[in-house]
Structure 1
Amino acid sequence: MTTFPPPCRLYVLLATAAPTALIMRRGPSAWWHLLEWDLQAGEVRHGAWLRGTLYPRRCDISPDGKLLGYFALGDGQSPWDTYFAVSKTPWLTALAAWHTHGTWTAGCRFATDNSLTISASMDKRPFHGSYPYGATVEDLSFDWTRRDLQNEYKRGWRPFSGEVERIPAGLREAVLLQRVQPGGERALVLAHTGTDFQRYGIEGAQISYLREDDDGEITPLPEAAWADWDRKGRLLMATYEGAVKIIEWRSGIWAETWSHDLRHLMPAPAPSPSWAQAW
């Protein structure tokens, strides 16, 4: 685990029904930046900058990757101090917004029809705009580990079913999940060792990644701050150094086939385009 702050911190929300993802980038420390990652074209498109706080592990994007449900802590007056909103990716212009009663929020999830379920201590009806696909507010049920890993569960990660003895000794007591490569025989393994807000980690989550190849060998991925498979079975990675990468199995080796460096971006807030300002 990295023991010093990297140039930026990255987290990725991966669409389940389209070749797209949303990169959530923190840095400088008071700023967040959203970027759309087109996995088919191999392009990254810049979106919103926010001076405030986002909670990526409690956010979700719609199956087609076009909508974002997010929790934010801003510097505005109530009800824009702590709120949940829906926007069009990769922007943060709220098309519907609900006031939350503090940051006691557990997450949200889009269904296949874009209906939305929100788990939070919050008002049942939006104070701004409306949501045309239907939204349900659940009573808050808070479990730190489940909160940290809910996006993985939504994408198909399941409890590790292999032999724990093959996991490095320091991770054997962790919460272990695995995700089998789509169309392949390999797997990714995730080890959640707890929550520590004094150390590097999105929302304090201490996560390590490993790769299990088809011969059963397990290899740590120390550079990975986030990792998952895309629908083609390619390994996607966001690194501690501040890059996003695509890694593929070619000619008997894992080869980096695409990368994009996000380390040195500086805040450049701009209005969202007109298409992102209305339904």
Structure 2
Amino acid sequence: MRRGPAGWWHLLEWDLRSREVTSGAWLRGTLYPRRCDISPDGKLLGYFALGHGPSPWDTYFAVSKVPWLTALVAWHTFGTWTGGCEFAPDNGLTIWASMGVKPFHGDYPYGAVVESLDRDWIYRDLQNEYKRGWRPLAEGMAGRMPPELREAVLIARVRPGGDRALVLAHTGTDFQRHGIEGVQVSYLREEDDGHLTPLPEAAWADWDDEGRLLMATRDGVIKIIEWRSGAWTQTWSQDLRDLTPEPLPSPPWVQDW
């Protein structure tokens, strides 16, 4: 999910095997990436949106096909008081939100459950990381954090196939500053000697299943960084900064199940 210019969001599909980025939907409204989820097979997107249409399309939760926002099923939410969603391995869906139990548009063939909004906001901010295997930082590593980050909420994920960790420090929420849904995060990468290297350019970062470091930078570039010949080496990047809104009708294959 890419934001910009002001008031616009753009969805793109990033294929890590072919290293191709495919353009999808443009939305003039607001999306909430930290409260969205992608199905295990990578085909379905569950998302919250604040649009400019008449009720019930003003605030809603919907399921679409990646990388489009054409709602195959949608529920009206009572404002933006929403907590997140999660797909099960069989594509069953759980939604935590203050919203109607029954969809106002379409229906969901895999089964959906609406739960009460009882998650704390820190968990909501980090729920997608927890789903991908991030866990609270071990006490020993916490002592190696820079002093200014030791009071932050700290989580880490060990690199698949290795023993280095990527660390995320959640330092609060400030909607006046750059951050996904205003959440202020800093990333650090653990090195062989145990030193933690700050990654100040990262707006988002994570390992992929092959142990490569994926990153979206604060200035709008996505990158793949790999461990090669004893050093971290950028092996691919794509600059998304200069994209301009070009909303197009969704293709037929995303318009039904």
Which of residues 5, 14, 17 is equivalent to 1:40? 17
Give how far 1:70 is off: 0.3
Give how far 1:198 is off: 1.2
Secondary structure class of the residue paired with 2:126: helix
Give how far 1:248 is off: 0.3
> 1:174-189 alignment to 2 at 5 Å?
174-189=152-167
Amino acid at match of 1:140: L
Q: Deviations over 1:54-91 (max 9, x none)?
A: 01100000011110000001111111110000000000
Give how far 1:165 is off: 2.4
Determine the C-alpha separation between the residues in 2 that align with 1:145 and 1:182: 25
Amino acid at match of 1:250: R
RMSD: 0.7
Is the CA contact 1:87–1:96 (under 8 Å) kept in the aligned structure 2? yes
> 1:220-235 alignment to 2 at 5 Å?
220-235=198-213
Show the counterpart of 2:67: 90
Which of residues 143, 146, 150 is equivalent to 2:123? 146
Secondary structure class of the residue paired with 2:143: helix
Which of residues 70, 79, 83 is equivalent to 2:56? 79
Which structure carries more relative contact order (alpha carbon 8 Å, separation 6+)? 1
Determine the C-alpha separation between the residues in 2 that align with 1:211 and 1:69: 30
Show the counterpart of 1:8: none
Which of residues 186, 196, 207 is equivalent to 2:174? 196
Show the counterpart of 1:126: 103
Show the counterpart of 2:92: 115
Secondary structure class of the residue paired with 1:132: coil
Q: Deviations over 1:183-221 (max 9, x none)?
A: 111110000000111111111100000001232111000
Is the CA contact 1:241–1:263 (under 8 Å) kept in the aligned structure 2? yes
Secondary structure class of the residue paired with 1:149: helix
Is the CA contact 1:185–1:213 (under 8 Å) kept in the aligned structure 2? no
Q: Deviations over 1:96-125 (max 9, x none)?
A: 000001110000000111100000000001
- Runs (4+) of structure 1 exceeding 3 A deviation are none
State TM-score, norm by structure 2.
0.98
Is the CA contact 1:91–1:276 (under 8 Å) kept in the aligned structure 2? yes
Amino acid at match of 1:72: A
Which of residues 173, 189, 192 is equivalent to 1:214? 192
**Number of paired residues?**
256
